[in-house]
Structures are given as structure tokens and as C-alpha cells.
Amino acid sequence: MAETRVVIVGVSGRMGQALVRVASEFPQVRITGAVASAGSTSLSRDAGVLAGQAPMGIEVTGDLPAALAAADVAIDFSQPYATRANIAACRGARKPLVVGTTGFAADLTEAELDAAAGEIPLLIAPNTSLGVALLTELVRRAGRALPPEFDIEVIEAHHRTKRDAPSGTALALARAAGEARGLAPSEALSATSGGRVGPRRDGEIGFAIVRGGDIVGEHTVLFAGLGEELRLSHRAGDRAIFARGALRAALWLLGRPPGRYGMSDIVHADHALG
């Protein structure tokens, strides 16, 4: 089995550590780079020890380009402000990149992402769980199948320290539902993402946001008709699901031609959803 050398960007964070812990479940994966910010308090620490495991002989570094030189693919779970530089580094090194970081829409335009994807395989996944990838497909189908009289709302819950709201996954689910109805995101997504005052506009997709405790991630897309409701839900019980999905995405991305990819490509490829 060919070995795949992986760089983890954001290795000192919750997701970065989860990636280090689940990597041993993938015999073909070898972590060769562990990257944090240039000012990280974790620099020079062993990435295994940082993740609560045995030493793995990989020191945390702030030098992504150097880490990429000895890697086949990178996985980024860092901070939105870092995404631009991380994509640029992967573009410079001609290495495929899985971006799991969310909330960078204000920092990076679609045109910039497309330009990068012209040169490297770029998989952007606000949620790397395979269950959420399938949920997104089911939401698309429901959005197409149900008449516009069914109002669509996205309800999401996360831990108290989450920075962005609505979550990247909630936005992606709302976009999928809106596209299925032929609506542009600017038309469909509720401007009052934090909560609604007054009656809903026709076609609007609203958000309800819950923050508290250590909730890993819950998403429900509600299709509310007159006298009936359809709820499509996913609950993440453990960060490891995102880490496993991200590693699977990285393995899938390797050897693909440059382009924009998402988790739905993996679900389609693996299970012929149609």
C-alpha cells in the first residue's frame, strides 16, 4: 500500500489533535508535518504528545512551506484569517489541500478560491463528516421535491467557544436547499441570521443558532408545510468523525486533477448515490 504523507495545519487545536489521534486508524497515512501559527505556544513540541499520545517524532512548526516540501497533501483546520496564506502556500508547493476551516468567506472571494483550484486539487468542506455530506444530498433532494409552500429553516447547535455563526455547515445546508429551489444565496439566506423578528419573507431560509457547553455539532433542516413537517438531522457526538472524514478526503484528493471539490464528490464516488 502506497504511503501518503500528510501535513496537519492547526495541529495544536481541537481538530488538529483529533487528526493526530485518528491517523493511526489509516495504515496508509503518515503524518510528516505538524503546523501551528508562527507565534504558537506549541512550537517545537512533539505533535503526538500534544495530542495526548506517545511521541511521534514530529515537532510542531510554524513553517508551512517547509512542511509541504516533505508531504503529499495538507489538511487545514486552523483559523479563518490563516486560510488565504495556507492556500497560497499549497498553491506555491503544488500540493492538494483539504480546507476544513470555516468562517473565511469575508477573507477570501470565490474567484480567489477558483484561481487556486485552477492549479491544485482543493477540497473545501465546512463539515468533513460523511453523514453530513449525505445529509446535504438529502436536503437537495427534499428542496427539489417539496413545493415552495414548505418553509425551510436551518437549526444548528455548537459548543460555547465556536467563533462563527451560523456555522459553515448550516450555511452550506441552506445554500443546498436554496439552490434546489433555484434561489441565489443572496435571495434565499435570511439576513437576520441570529434570529428573526416579524413574519418570514417568501422563499427565505432562516437560521436558529444555539451555543452552549461542549456540543460538538448538531444540524437540522426543517421543511415546514401546512399540517406536516419534515426534519432532516445530523448529530456529531465526537470530533473524531470530522477527523476521519478529513483524512479520507485527503486520501481521495491525492492524484485528482486541479479543481474545486467537496465532500459530496466523495459520497457520490464511494456509494453511487446518483
What are the catalytic residues? 158, 162
Q: Are 139 and 185 in contact (CB under 8 A)?
A: no
Distance of CA 191 to CAs 59, 188, 197, 207, 233, Å? 44, 9, 11, 9, 23
Shortest Cβ 100–ligand NAP spacing (Å): 3
Question: What residues from 33 to 72 belong to the interface with ligand NAP (CB under 6 A)?
Answer: 35-37, 40, 42
Nearer to ligand NAP, 148 or 194 (CB): 194
Q: x/- string (CB under 6 A) for ligand NAP, residues 4-33? A: -----xx-xxxxx-----------------
Residue 32 φ then ψ, to 5°: -115, -10
Check residue 90 for interaction with ligand NAP (CB under 6 A): no
Q: What are phi and psi of 252, to 5 degrees?
A: -65, -35
78 binds ligand NAP (CB under 6 A): yes
Q: Which is nearer to ligand NAP, 4 or 129 (CB)?
A: 129
- Please give the size of the binding site for ligand NAP, defined by CB under 6 A: 25
103 three-class SS:
coil
Closest CB to ligand NAP among residues 100, 121: 100
* Amino acid identity, position 267: V
Taking the C-alpha atoms of residue 95 and residue 116, their distance in angstroms, rounded to an integer, is 11
100 near ligand NAP, judged by CB under 6 A: yes
**Shortest Å distance, C-beta 267 to ligand NAP:** 14
As a whole number of angstroms, the distance between CA 150 and CA 135 comes to 18
